[in-house]
Amino acid sequence: MADIKVQKKDEILQDFDRSKVISGVVKAGVSTDQAGSVASQIEAWVQSAAVDGVVKSNDIRAKVLEILQSTNPAAAAKFGAYKKGV
């Protein structure tokens, strides 16, 4: 995968880390296997969504919600309700 950076809310850039996607989705009540599938979909999506190699964390969150809403609505609701402070 090309080096994709994630722009956090505080403007800090971090390397894209699929394990963070998996962790967040598992915390929402999704199985590890399903979380891996979601992370793979996100990983593929960021390749096209990134602008100059950067994608915003809020955009990743919205895409995770979109995927979960079609595969696991209960987990989507839990994931969507979680708000991380800056």
Number of structural domains (the chain) is 1
Q: Which two tokens stand for residue 21?
A: 């996607």
* Domain span holding position 60: 5-9+14-81
| 29 found inside a domain | yes
Give the tens place of pLDDT for each residue, 51-80: 999 999 999 999 999 999 999 999 999 999
Res 68: pLDDT:
96
Is 86 within the bounds of a domain? no
pLDDT at 84: 60
* pLDDT tier for residue 1 given thresholds of 50, 70 and 90: low
The whole-angstrom separation of Cα 21 and Cα 61 is: 9
Taking the model in full, what pTM does it have?
0.90
Query: What mean pLDDT, rounded, does the chain reach?
Result: 92
Q: Please report whether residue 53 resides in a domain.
A: yes
pLDDT at 32 over 80: yes
Find the angle CA(26)-CA(13)-CA(5) to the nearest 5 degrees. Answer: 70
Helix (H) or strand (E) segment spanning residue 70: helix 57-71
